[in-house]
Protein backbone atom coordinates (compact mmCIF):
# COMPACT_ATOMS: atom_id res chain seq x y z
CA UNK A 1 0.00 0.00 0.00
CA UNK A 2 2.85 2.39 0.78
CA UNK A 3 4.44 1.65 -2.60
CA UNK A 4 1.13 2.35 -4.33
CA UNK A 5 0.76 5.62 -2.41
CA UNK A 6 4.26 6.66 -3.46
CA UNK A 7 3.49 5.87 -7.10
CA UNK A 8 0.19 7.75 -6.95
CA UNK A 9 1.95 10.80 -5.51
CA UNK A 10 4.66 10.61 -8.18
CA UNK A 11 1.94 10.52 -10.84
CA UNK A 12 0.27 13.61 -9.37
CA UNK A 13 3.61 15.47 -9.28
CA UNK A 14 4.43 14.51 -12.85
CA UNK A 15 1.05 15.70 -14.10
CA UNK A 16 1.55 18.97 -12.24
CA UNK A 17 4.81 19.51 -14.14
CA UNK A 18 3.00 19.33 -17.48
CA UNK A 19 1.77 22.65 -18.90
CA UNK A 20 -1.54 23.82 -17.46
CA UNK A 21 -3.09 24.88 -20.75
CA UNK A 22 -1.16 26.79 -23.38
CA UNK A 23 0.27 30.32 -23.57
CA UNK A 24 -1.80 33.02 -25.23
CA UNK A 25 -0.04 33.92 -28.48
CA UNK A 26 -2.10 36.30 -30.66
CA UNK A 27 -2.43 35.02 -34.21
CA UNK A 28 -1.54 31.43 -33.27
CA UNK A 29 -3.37 28.35 -32.05
CA UNK A 30 -1.54 26.04 -29.63
CA UNK A 31 -2.49 22.56 -28.47
CA UNK A 32 -0.53 19.87 -26.66
CA UNK A 33 -0.96 16.86 -24.39
CA UNK A 34 0.80 13.78 -23.09
CA UNK A 35 -0.45 10.42 -21.87
CA UNK A 36 1.53 7.66 -20.19
CA UNK A 37 1.35 4.03 -21.27
CA UNK A 38 1.52 3.16 -17.56
CA UNK A 39 1.37 5.41 -14.51
CA UNK A 40 4.58 7.36 -15.09
CA UNK A 41 6.05 8.45 -18.40
CA UNK A 42 9.43 9.24 -19.84
CA UNK A 43 8.04 11.92 -22.15
CA UNK A 44 8.07 15.64 -21.39
CA UNK A 45 6.79 18.73 -23.13
CA UNK A 46 6.85 22.35 -22.07
CA UNK A 47 6.17 25.79 -23.49
CA UNK A 48 6.27 29.32 -22.16
CA UNK A 49 6.65 32.93 -23.31
CA UNK A 50 9.89 34.82 -22.70
CA UNK A 51 10.60 38.31 -24.00
CA UNK A 52 7.70 38.00 -26.43
CA UNK A 53 8.92 34.72 -27.92
CA UNK A 54 7.53 31.23 -27.43
CA UNK A 55 9.91 28.54 -26.18
CA UNK A 56 8.80 24.97 -26.91
CA UNK A 57 10.43 21.75 -25.72
CA UNK A 58 9.68 18.06 -26.15
CA UNK A 59 11.86 15.23 -24.86
CA UNK A 60 11.57 11.45 -24.90
CA UNK A 61 13.67 9.46 -22.43
CA UNK A 62 14.52 5.89 -23.39
CA UNK A 63 12.26 3.50 -21.51
CA UNK A 64 9.20 3.93 -19.33
CA UNK A 65 8.48 4.12 -15.63
CA UNK A 66 10.03 5.77 -12.59
CA UNK A 67 13.63 6.19 -13.78
CA UNK A 68 12.78 7.83 -17.13
CA UNK A 69 10.16 9.97 -15.35
CA UNK A 70 12.83 11.36 -13.01
CA UNK A 71 15.13 12.11 -15.94
CA UNK A 72 12.31 13.75 -17.92
CA UNK A 73 11.62 16.08 -14.97
CA UNK A 74 15.33 16.93 -14.81
CA UNK A 75 15.43 17.74 -18.53
CA UNK A 76 12.43 20.04 -18.15
CA UNK A 77 14.04 21.85 -15.22
CA UNK A 78 17.37 22.22 -17.01
CA UNK A 79 15.80 23.65 -20.16
CA UNK A 80 13.78 26.13 -18.10
CA UNK A 81 16.87 27.37 -16.26
CA UNK A 82 18.30 30.69 -17.51
CA UNK A 83 15.81 31.28 -20.34
CA UNK A 84 18.05 34.01 -21.78
CA UNK A 85 20.42 31.32 -23.09
CA UNK A 86 20.18 30.65 -26.80
CA UNK A 87 18.78 27.31 -27.93
CA UNK A 88 22.10 25.65 -28.71
CA UNK A 89 23.63 26.63 -25.36
CA UNK A 90 20.60 25.35 -23.46
CA UNK A 91 20.65 21.95 -25.19
CA UNK A 92 24.43 21.62 -24.81
CA UNK A 93 24.13 22.29 -21.08
CA UNK A 94 21.45 19.62 -20.68
CA UNK A 95 23.66 17.21 -22.61
CA UNK A 96 26.58 17.91 -20.25
CA UNK A 97 24.44 17.52 -17.14
CA UNK A 98 22.96 14.23 -18.31
CA UNK A 99 26.36 12.84 -19.20
CA UNK A 100 27.69 13.78 -15.75
CA UNK A 101 24.69 12.31 -13.93
CA UNK A 102 23.60 9.26 -15.93
CA UNK A 103 26.32 8.78 -18.51
CA UNK A 104 27.14 5.27 -17.27
CA UNK A 105 23.52 4.12 -17.16
CA UNK A 106 23.11 3.61 -20.90
CA UNK A 107 20.00 5.81 -20.89
CA UNK A 108 19.72 8.55 -23.48
CA UNK A 109 17.23 11.29 -24.32
CA UNK A 110 16.00 12.59 -27.66
CA UNK A 111 14.71 16.15 -27.67
CA UNK A 112 13.56 19.14 -29.67
CA UNK A 113 14.05 22.63 -28.24
CA UNK A 114 12.54 25.44 -30.32
CA UNK A 115 11.72 29.14 -30.24
CA UNK A 116 9.04 30.93 -32.23
CA UNK A 117 9.05 34.66 -32.95
CA UNK A 118 5.30 35.32 -33.26
CA UNK A 119 5.83 38.69 -34.93
CA UNK A 120 7.64 37.20 -37.92
CA UNK A 121 6.67 33.53 -37.88
CA UNK A 122 10.34 32.50 -37.73
CA UNK A 123 10.82 29.19 -35.94
CA UNK A 124 14.30 28.24 -34.72
CA UNK A 125 15.07 24.79 -33.37
CA UNK A 126 17.71 22.36 -32.16
CA UNK A 127 17.00 18.66 -32.69
CA UNK A 128 18.93 16.19 -30.52
CA UNK A 129 18.36 12.89 -32.28
CA UNK A 130 14.57 13.18 -32.18
CA UNK A 131 13.61 13.57 -35.85
CA UNK A 132 9.88 13.80 -35.16
CA UNK A 133 9.33 17.52 -35.75
CA UNK A 134 7.58 18.77 -38.87
CA UNK A 135 5.99 21.76 -40.53
CA UNK A 136 2.61 21.03 -42.08
CA UNK A 137 2.13 23.68 -44.75
CA UNK A 138 -1.25 25.24 -45.45
CA UNK A 139 -1.02 23.55 -48.87
CA UNK A 140 -0.91 20.12 -47.18
CA UNK A 141 2.81 19.62 -47.84
CA UNK A 142 4.87 18.08 -45.04
CA UNK A 143 8.36 19.35 -44.30
CA UNK A 144 10.39 17.21 -41.89
CA UNK A 145 12.71 19.29 -39.70
CA UNK A 146 15.73 17.05 -40.21
CA UNK A 147 18.13 16.24 -37.41
CA UNK A 148 21.88 15.93 -37.57
CA UNK A 149 22.39 15.96 -33.80
CA UNK A 150 22.80 12.90 -31.59
CA UNK A 151 20.60 12.18 -28.55
CA UNK A 152 21.50 13.69 -25.19
CA UNK A 153 23.53 11.85 -22.58
CA UNK A 154 25.54 9.73 -25.01
CA UNK A 155 28.91 11.16 -24.04
CA UNK A 156 29.73 13.05 -27.22
CA UNK A 157 30.79 16.64 -26.67
CA UNK A 158 29.26 17.87 -29.91
CA UNK A 159 28.40 21.35 -31.07
CA UNK A 160 24.65 21.86 -31.36
CA UNK A 161 23.39 23.84 -34.35
CA UNK A 162 20.30 26.01 -34.63
CA UNK A 163 18.19 25.84 -37.80
CA UNK A 164 15.32 28.11 -38.82
CA UNK A 165 12.17 27.75 -40.88
CA UNK A 166 9.43 30.23 -41.71
CA UNK A 167 5.82 29.63 -40.69
CA UNK A 168 3.38 31.32 -43.06
CA UNK A 169 -0.32 31.83 -42.27
CA UNK A 170 -1.99 28.42 -42.18
CA UNK A 171 1.28 26.55 -41.51
CA UNK A 172 1.68 24.46 -38.36
CA UNK A 173 4.66 23.21 -36.37
CA UNK A 174 4.09 19.69 -35.06
CA UNK A 175 6.24 17.63 -32.75
CA UNK A 176 5.53 14.26 -31.15
CA UNK A 177 7.14 11.37 -29.32
CA UNK A 178 7.55 8.09 -31.16
CA UNK A 179 4.64 6.63 -29.22
CA UNK A 180 2.30 8.49 -31.58
CA UNK A 181 3.53 6.36 -34.48
CA UNK A 182 2.10 3.26 -32.81
CA UNK A 183 -1.47 4.54 -33.06
CA UNK A 184 -1.50 6.21 -36.49
CA UNK A 185 -2.59 4.58 -39.74
CA UNK A 186 0.53 2.52 -40.57
CA UNK A 187 -0.13 2.80 -44.31
CA UNK A 188 -0.52 6.59 -44.35
CA UNK A 189 0.50 8.25 -41.07
CA UNK A 190 0.99 11.71 -42.61
CA UNK A 191 -2.37 11.54 -44.36
CA UNK A 192 -3.99 10.41 -41.12
CA UNK A 193 -2.65 13.44 -39.26
CA UNK A 194 -3.51 15.84 -42.11
CA UNK A 195 -7.10 14.65 -42.22
CA UNK A 196 -7.60 14.95 -38.46
CA UNK A 197 -5.99 18.40 -38.29
CA UNK A 198 -8.04 19.58 -41.27
CA UNK A 199 -11.29 18.28 -39.80
CA UNK A 200 -10.78 19.07 -36.12
CA UNK A 201 -8.05 21.70 -35.87
CA UNK A 202 -5.06 21.53 -33.48
CA UNK A 203 -7.04 21.02 -30.26
CA UNK A 204 -9.25 18.37 -31.83
CA UNK A 205 -6.24 16.59 -33.31
CA UNK A 206 -4.52 16.43 -29.92
CA UNK A 207 -7.67 15.08 -28.25
CA UNK A 208 -7.98 12.48 -31.00
CA UNK A 209 -4.40 11.34 -30.31
CA UNK A 210 -5.25 10.88 -26.63
CA UNK A 211 -8.42 8.98 -27.53
CA UNK A 212 -6.57 6.63 -29.86
CA UNK A 213 -3.82 6.06 -27.28
CA UNK A 214 -6.39 4.95 -24.72
CA UNK A 215 -8.54 2.99 -27.17
CA UNK A 216 -5.61 1.10 -28.71
CA UNK A 217 -3.72 0.75 -25.42
CA UNK A 218 -0.63 2.41 -26.81
CA UNK A 219 2.49 0.45 -25.80
CA UNK A 220 4.53 3.63 -25.34
CA UNK A 221 3.97 7.10 -23.93
CA UNK A 222 2.29 9.46 -26.40
CA UNK A 223 3.08 13.18 -26.48
CA UNK A 224 2.03 15.57 -29.21
CA UNK A 225 2.03 19.35 -29.58
CA UNK A 226 1.08 21.74 -32.35
CA UNK A 227 1.56 25.45 -32.99
CA UNK A 228 -0.40 26.80 -35.96
CA UNK A 229 -0.01 30.27 -37.40
CA UNK A 230 -3.51 31.56 -38.10
CA UNK A 231 -2.66 34.94 -39.63
For the segment 14-67, what is each residue's pLDDT rounded down to a tens digit?
777 789 889 999 999 999 999 999 888 999 999 999 999 999 999 999 987 788
C-beta of residue 83 within 8 angstroms of C-beta of residue 67: no
Residue 110 has pLDDT above 90, yes or no: yes
| pLDDT for the residue numbered 1 | 47
Q: What is the pLDDT of residues 205-215, one digit of tens each?
A: 999 999 999 99
Residue 8 has pLDDT above 70, yes or no: no
The pTM of the full predicted model, rounded to 2 decimals, is 0.92
Question: Quick one: CA dihedral 166, 206, 111, 71, positive or negative?
Answer: positive
Amino acid sequence: LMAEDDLDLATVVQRALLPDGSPEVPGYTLAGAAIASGQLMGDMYDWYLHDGKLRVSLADVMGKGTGPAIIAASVRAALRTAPDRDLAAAVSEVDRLLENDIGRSGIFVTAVHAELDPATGTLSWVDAGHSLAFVLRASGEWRPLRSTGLPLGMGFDMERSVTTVQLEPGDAFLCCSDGLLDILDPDDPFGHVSRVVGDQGPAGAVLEALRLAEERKAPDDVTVLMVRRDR
